[in-house]
Amino acid sequence: MFFQALLLFLLEQLLSAASSSEIAHGLTAAFSSACMSLATSLKLPNVIVNFAHFVPAGTVLQFQQDENLVTCNRPNQTIASDICRVAMYVSTSSRSGITLEAWLPSTWTGRFLSTGNGGQSGCIQYEDLGYTSSLGFAAVVSRLQTGVTVGKALTQIFYKRAHTKSYYLGCSTGSRQGLESAQVFPETFDGILAGAPAIDRNRLVAWNGHFFGIIGTANLSDFISAALWNTIHIEVLRQCDGLDGVVDGIIEDPSLCNPRPEALLCKPRNSINCLTPNQAQIVRNVFSDYIAEDRSLIFPRLQPGAELTSVSDQFSGMPSKYIGDWFKYVVFNIKDATYSIALNPANVESFKGNLSAFRAHGGKALIYHGQQDSTVTSPNTARYYDHVSRTMDLDSSSLDDFFRYFRIGGMSHCSGGPGAWRIGQTALGALGGEGGAGSNVLAALVEWVEKGVAPETVRGVGFVNGTVALGVDFVREHCRYPLRNVCVDPKRYKHPKSWKCV
């Protein structure tokens, strides 16, 4: 409305002499001055505006240490479309507060979106603000409900009308934050895009920690070297790659894969690149569920196929970096795991199975998880899906009305891997149209929320040797759980039509 009125005003001012470039220039100037005026005019409770800048498309923002923690390791961000960048501090008590950024695009679709962050960083994922604002979302980064409330209010003030629909996008911890919102603040979002959710967090961190006890330190005689893990990976593929109908380096459904490490046992005439009996047991333990003293499940096993990306972390001979500050200075054992699960500080587990209120609000959740993820093992997401199904007493066809889970074969943690992992999920997964129509999972979520057209599959793009720089290799459609992907025409396995969800 505001810009239409302004356009008429400009037309009058410029009379018939106005050229379209002058009008465009006038609109940009108006957008820019409306943006900058926020610095002094924005009045929201507990909010201080640090700055409000107009940033034209093509700018490379350079981040200073004072506006971006050094640990975040984000030196710059290229801006794809004109935005109003607003940086705020929101105090949540006399001693605490959050930093918040909103990136408001000049070509707004009317949609609001919040993103989260990965790991335990608390960093602003500028690339996701850039990605979603370039798609026309008024985007904020906020891990807390407070931030979303401020972001929505700011959006309304700036554009002079309320948003139409509200979305969330995040992966890993960002995904946990999104699902936590569906569980605890069910009316906040109409659509949630959640990848590789780091849910049941106490158990997840304990699971990351338990590998050190299995693997041991690097000076042990049975320590498995990186080279030997490579051999193990090749053997896992030899045993399981073909289960989906084609040998292509991808295990579409690792839940069907139960590798026998004994196939690699050293023989009298072959004592290199093979496993001692102890090492074979270590490999078995790595691919086994993590079980408590009372025999109950702590966390599902590492899915076979993901072992190579564990080598630099869980299999390194040092405690996993994902234990971080959570179990700092703790010699980790099963009792610590059981204790932390019972403690569940700040309800960080985010594993509530009752999403009734989210469903009643009309919310839709689209979950995806790479099937080659060594950071958050993917069977945990099937476990959550089943938990929601049981808690709400809904079979898959009813649950899928508002909650769908897609398994992305050959995708690592949130991005990367040999599979067709680029699905438009985040800035890392942003597509350049390679996959054709229907290959952006965020657009699919919007269709579902706004037109009621639910995605049957998620279409992704894979790269030559899993390397983006080598170019696009194939397109594949990923099935929604509990269906799995099977190749029905192995000679043409790179063609999406050669696959079927069964």
Ligand X SMILES: *[C@@H]1O[C@H](CO)[C@@H](O)[C@H](O)[C@H]1NC(C)=O
The site for ligand X (CB under 6 A) is made up of: 60, 75-76, 217, 219, 354, 356-357, 391, 464-465, 470
Looking at the Cβ atoms of 110 and 317, the one nearer to ligand X is 317
Among residues 163, 233, 369, 413, the one annotated as catalytic is 413
d(CA 112, CA 139): 6
Nearest approach, Cβ of residue 255 and Ca ion (Å): 14
485 within 8 A of 437, measured Cβ to Cβ: no
Among residues 134, 172, 320, 415, the one annotated as catalytic is 172
Q: Which two tokens stand for residue 484?
A: 């799995």
Is the omega angle on the peptide bond into residue 105 within 30 degrees of 0, that is, cis? no
Residue with tokens 């240490």: 65
Looking at the Cβ atoms of 128 and 244, the one nearer to Ca ion is 244
Looking at the Cβ atoms of 92 and 354, the one nearer to ligand X is 354
DSSP class per residue in 235-274? HHHHHHGGGGTS-SS--S-GGG----GGGGB-BTTB-SS-
Cα-only R_g, the chain: 25
Mark whether 53 is an active-site residue.
no
Quote the strand ranges of 35-82, DSSP E. Answer: 47-55, 60-62, 76-78
DSSP class per residue in 312-372? TTTTSSS--GGGTTTTTT----HHHHHHHHHH-GGGTT------HHHHHTT-EEEEEEETT
Nearest to 197 by CA among 322, 373, 339, 319: 373
225 within 8 A of 246, measured Cβ to Cβ: no
Partner that binds at residue 464, options Ca ion, ligand X, none, CB closer than 5 to 8 Å by kind:
ligand X
Partner that binds at residue 248, options Ca ion, ligand X, none, CB closer than 5 to 8 Å by kind:
Ca ion
Nearest approach, Cβ of residue 42 and ligand X (Å): 30
Site for Ca ion in 188-247 (CB under 5 A): 241, 244
Give how many residues touch Ca ion by CB under 5 A: 4
d(CA 142, CA 304): 34
Partner that binds at residue 4, options ligand X, Ca ion, none, CB closer than 5 to 8 Å by kind:
none
Among residues 210, 340, 373, 412, the one annotated as catalytic is 373
Residue 368-407 contact track with Ca ion, rule CB under 5 A, x = bound: ----------------------------------------
Site for Ca ion in 279-298 (CB under 5 A): none
Partner that binds at residue 217, options Ca ion, ligand X, none, CB closer than 5 to 8 Å by kind:
ligand X
Q: Which two tokens stand for residue 344?
A: 């569940």
Looking at the Cβ atoms of 13 and 465, the one nearer to ligand X is 465
Looking at the Cβ atoms of 288 and 354, the one nearer to ligand X is 354
Nearest approach, Cβ of residue 232 and ligand X (Å): 17
Partner that binds at residue 241, options ligand X, Ca ion, none, CB closer than 5 to 8 Å by kind:
Ca ion
Among positions 82, 101, 128, 248, the unique one binding Ca ion when judged by CB under 5 A? 248
Partner that binds at residue 92, options Ca ion, ligand X, none, CB closer than 5 to 8 Å by kind:
none
Partner that binds at residue 244, options Ca ion, ligand X, none, CB closer than 5 to 8 Å by kind:
Ca ion
d(CA 387, CA 401): 16
Q: Which two tokens stand for residue 416?
A: 């990367």
Looking at the Cβ atoms of 41 and 76, the one nearer to ligand X is 76
Nearest approach, Cβ of residue 498 and Ca ion (Å): 12
Nearest to 334 by CA among 207, 215, 426: 207
Site for Ca ion in 26-55 (CB under 5 A): none
d(CA 116, CA 155): 18
d(CA 377, CA 128): 23
Q: Which two tokens stand for residue 80?
A: 């794809």
Looking at the Cβ atoms of 203 and 484, the one nearer to Ca ion is 484
Nearest approach, Cβ of residue 387 and ligand X (Å): 12
Nearest approach, Cβ of residue 490 and Ca ion (Å): 9
d(CA 335, CA 285): 18
282 within 8 A of 214, measured Cβ to Cβ: yes
Q: Which two tokens stand for residue 322?
A: 């994902």
d(CA 159, CA 336): 50
- Asked if 253 is part of the footprint of Ca ion (rule: CB under 5 A), the reply reads no
Looking at the Cβ atoms of 340 and 426, the one nearer to ligand X is 426
Looking at the Cβ atoms of 61 and 102, the one nearer to ligand X is 61
Nearest to 337 by CA among 438, 203, 428: 203
Site for Ca ion in 112-151 (CB under 5 A): none
Nearest approach, Cβ of residue 457 and Ca ion (Å): 17
Nearest approach, Cβ of residue 465 and ligand X (Å): 4
Mark whether 361 is an active-site residue.
no
Residue 457-496 contact track with Ca ion, rule CB under 5 A, x = bound: ----------------------------------------
Nearest approach, Cβ of residue 419 and ligand X (Å): 15
Which residues are the active-site residues?
172, 373, 413
Contact residues for Ca ion, defined by CB under 5 A? 241, 244, 248, 250
